[in-house]
Amino acid sequence: MPARLEQVLALNLAKEVRKDARVIRAAAAPGQTSLDSLVLETKAIDRDFLRRVARFPVEIVIRYEEIEPVRRRRIERLFAAAQRVLSTWAPGQGAREALRCAFPGAELEALLRELLALYGEETLALSRSVRVPTLLKPLRDVAARRLVGVMDSVSARLAKEAAAAMNLR
């Protein structure tokens, strides 16, 4: 993989971690942060990402009208899941045990699959934000669909393995 692409992907991953961390922190203080304000915060994180990748030979113009419905569903689901874990977390209990109590059995795997599927949907929508010459748009779209296909197959395995690992300890 070209070094520049690796850098963009690393910055993108860091951006997504920042967004999710913000949603989880908001779940720890319910009532203080609205869904609308979380969506606005994710847009600010996106703008910071776009400033950082401006030096790379790719133009990204995020089309929020297409992305926001999927992003909202992902934020809502992550927020609810974080609240569920935090509400069942007993004093002296570790994070793993709290997660197991909040999402017993196959529930954790289902949650992870759902969240990862929403990431895939958002990735597909975001792929159309990458500006390419008209002749290359079909190629961009095929590449994006293949990427999301890989994400889907890997996410199913990842969700299963992560849930199994949580239940072993």
What DSSP string describes 138-166?
A: HHHHHHHHHHHHHHHHHHHHHHHHHHHHH
- Within 103-136, residue ranges assigned H as helices are 107-127
Task: Tell me the per-residue pLDDT of 37-48, one tens digit each, with 9 for 90 and over.
Answer: 999 999 999 999
Q: Look at the pTM and tell me if it is higher than 0.95.
A: no
Taking the CA atoms of 143, 146, 152 and 155 in sequence, report the sign of the dihedral they define. Answer: negative
Under 8 Å between Cβ of 123 and 148: yes
3-class DSSP state of 57? coil
Q: Which two tokens stand for residue 136?
A: 């290359």
pLDDT at 90 over 60: yes
Under 8 Å between Cβ of 60 and 53: yes
How large is the average pLDDT for residues 47-76?
A: 89
How many angstroms separate the Cα of 77 from the Cα of each of 14, 71, 160?
Answer: 20, 10, 19
pLDDT at 12 over 70: yes
Task: Tell me the per-residue pLDDT of 112-168, one tens digit each, with 9 for 90 and over.
Answer: 999 999 998 888 888 888 777 788 788 878 888 888 888 888 889 999 999 888 876
Place 1 in a pLDDT band, splitting at 50, 70 and 90: low
3-class DSSP state of 31? coil
